[in-house]
Amino acid sequence: MVSPDELDRLRRRYRLERERRVRADGPRQYVGADAAFGSYAADPHAAAPAPREPLKDTVDVAVVGGGFGGILAGARLRAQGVGRVRIVERGGDFGGTWYWNRYPGIHCDIESHVYLPMLDETGYVPEWKYAPGEEIRRHAVRIAEKSDLYADALFSTAVTSLTWDEPSGTWLVTTDRGDEFRATYVITATGTLTDLKLPGIPGIEEFEGRTFHTSRWDYAYTKGSPKGGLSGLADQRVGVVGTGATGVQVIPMLAEDAGHLYVFQRTPSSVDVRANRPTTAGDVGADHHGWARERRDNFLRIVSGEPSGEDRVADGWTASAALLEKLLPSFRREGDPAAFEAAYEAADAARMNEIRARVERTVTDPATAEKLKPWYRYACKRPTFSDTYLQAFNRDNVTLVDTADTHGIERMTARGVVVGDTEYALDCLIFATGFSVGASGLHTGSLPVRGRDGLRLPQAWAERGMRTLHGFTSHGFPNLIQLGAPQSAASVNFTHVLDEHAVHAAALVAAAEAEGAVIEPSREAEDAWNALLAGAAPDHEWFHADCTPGYYNGEGRGRPNGPTAYPHGAFAFHELLRRWREDSLHEALRPRTAARP
């Protein structure tokens, strides 16, 4: 039990630690990989694309993005009998996040038996509780092959605009390879954390050593593979900036192989037990068709706050499920709100005390241990899990450089990194500094969309607020379906969410085809959905406003206002979609000839 006095002390400490880190420039402290930094985004996994003739043909469905969202959309469309599905992907192959991110130590931090989609359909049973990145990437390829998605796919190609043509009832899709093809339907599956970001610090271009971002790992320089063996770093002074979910996985691998490793930390992660281990089909109940769906549903129930009876996955996520309520706006909460918040805070403090005690038990140097303790509430930052990260700081070749008081590394020189009065000379600096948050290019404007009557995104939503039916479709944008977007419901197991969305998208397309209709919700249907979101959304702004800065809270500013998610949990949302498809799908359709007023 945590006493009221201790709770009070913790609140004060958390506030202090937040104040040390908040920066006036918030998200503007970062730069993207464009203009002068464009080379950071280059694809290290594919040869320069061979020239090809631009395409001017017509397909049934264009899918923007070939990560799990796009692949699942393709697979579920195939299951509905849809013929020509063209997935357009910036990378040189399918895989999305798992195509780009191949850094040493990369693993999924969600159990592989619930994270990898379509295990029932493919018959694949992962061999480890937490799968390495390469196994996940290969599974993405497996689904794409099984669903025959390669034939029409375009790789090393970015969609540059989408324009609706009402007379022909098609979208004109243009790309950066000169394509101008048409598609009756467009599904966007462009991810949420896709565009890498770098600290926008002075001198970053002056550094004469090697630099790269973790999502574009340079194995030509480091040698080795995601399994380690980075012999190219053996006598190198290596720096790594960032100790988030990526840093926690990559730092132990760098510590093994670098001559000396400097870890530049601004905010420590909460690092819980991982306990990865080989698994057998028997361990996970993979003895009948449907086992994976049942396990995945069980996990989702627990992390969405639904009553579940048993806990099949039994890991750090399910053990702390009740503490995810603030992270996931869509989490079922019940009972008296004041009692709920009090119990929540006490459980949160107990959990974080355990995590801090683990640091103290594991790290031998007390001063280093102190710096590695996270002082914020659980889920202020993405929880992480590792049995090798904290241990890495017991090695003689690893130095932890705390940068909280200077708000991060301050500048770079030709020789290395400056923090306070010290210049750290480096041969190589690796940025584990994460990704810009954006539901998709539709929301940021990087993918211009022109709907019916010249209506544009994101301008239309900037003026009137975001308006959708279930997060998928919008009035004025016929036959355009978004996957994984706001106004639906999120979960820590994002592939599950994407799969449910893919099933839904494919059902919309199939219904429109069967009825000779166009997918476009009425204004009334959008209004009803917005009203439902606004009416029941719990207020979590205060929680995020009290957290240390990070991408969960707009770098310390709290969440943007407005209804963004279905408020009763992802599990309930998927149930709602199923019922709606049976009873009310017509709400999203209109006849092909008549435009809705």
Which residues of the shown chain bind ligand NDP in the complex (CB under 6 A)? Answer: 21, 107-110, 193, 199, 201, 241-247, 249, 264, 266-267, 382, 403, 408-409, 432-435, 549-551
Strand order in the sheet with 210-213: 210-213, 428-431, 237-241, 260-265, 398-402
CB 534 within 8 A of CB 6: no
CB 168 within 8 A of CB 96: no
Q: How far apart are CA 246 and CA 407, in angstroms?
A: 20
Q: Who contacts 541 (Cβ-Cβ below 8 Å, separation ≥6)?
A: 558, 559, 561
CB of 143 to ligand NDP, least distance (A): 18
CA 448, 471, 149, 219: dihedral to nearest 10 degrees? 70
Residue closer to ligand NDP by CB (options 23, 581) is 23
Residue closer to ligand NDP by CB (options 33, 186) is 33
CB of 480 to ligand NDP, least distance (A): 26
CB 110 within 8 A of CB 123: no
Write down the H helix ranges in 426-540: 441-444, 459-464, 494-515, 523-536
CB of 534 to ligand NDP, least distance (A): 27
Residue closer to ligand NDP by CB (options 385, 477) is 385
CB of 430 to ligand NDP, least distance (A): 11
Q: How far apart are CA 119 and CA 172, in angstroms?
A: 35
Tokens 């979609």 belong to which residue?
577
Structure tokens at 82: 């849809």
Residue closer to ligand NDP by CB (options 433, 491) is 433
CB of 362 to ligand NDP, least distance (A): 19
Residue closer to ligand NDP by CB (options 403, 564) is 403
Degrees to nearest 5, angle at CA 219 with 218 and 220: 90
Task: Give the chain's radius of gyration (CA, Å).
Answer: 24
Residue closer to ligand NDP by CB (options 266, 475) is 266
CB of 239 to ligand NDP, least distance (A): 10
Strand, coil or helix: what is 122?
helix
Angle between helices 133-146 and 68-79 (to 10 degrees): 30
Q: How far apart are CA 177 and CA 66, in angstroms?
A: 17
Q: How far apart are CA 523 and CA 590, in angstroms?
A: 12
CB of 272 to ligand NDP, least distance (A): 13
Residue closer to ligand NDP by CB (options 82, 547) is 547
CB of 549 to ligand NDP, least distance (A): 6
CB of 96 to ligand NDP, least distance (A): 12
CB of 27 to ligand NDP, least distance (A): 11
- Going by the DSSP 8-state scheme, the letter that residue 246 receives in this structure is H
Residue closer to ligand NDP by CB (options 149, 313) is 313
Residue closer to ligand NDP by CB (options 191, 478) is 191
Q: How far apart are CA 11 and CA 85, in angstroms?
A: 53
Residue closer to ligand NDP by CB (options 29, 160) is 29
Residue closer to ligand NDP by CB (options 170, 403) is 403
Paired strand residues for 87:
63
**Strand blocks (E) in 202-336:** 210-213, 237-241, 260-265, 271-272
- 146-150 own/partner pairs: CB under 8 Å, 24+ apart: 146/75, 146/121, 146/122, 147/71, 147/74, 147/75, 147/78, 148/78, 149/71, 149/74, 149/75, 149/78, 149/85, 149/87, 149/94
Degrees to nearest 5, angle at CA 382 with 339 and 141: 130
Q: How many CA atoms lie within 13 A of 59 on its CB side?
A: 26
CB of 79 to ligand NDP, least distance (A): 26
CB of 262 to ligand NDP, least distance (A): 12
Q: How far apart are CA 279 and CA 572, in angstroms?
A: 30
Residue closer to ligand NDP by CB (options 526, 555) is 555
CB of 85 to ligand NDP, least distance (A): 27
Residue closer to ligand NDP by CB (options 146, 382) is 382
CB of 296 to ligand NDP, least distance (A): 15
Strand, coil or helix: what is 265?
strand
Residue closer to ligand NDP by CB (options 242, 476) is 242
Closest CA to 110 of 569, 496, 498: 496
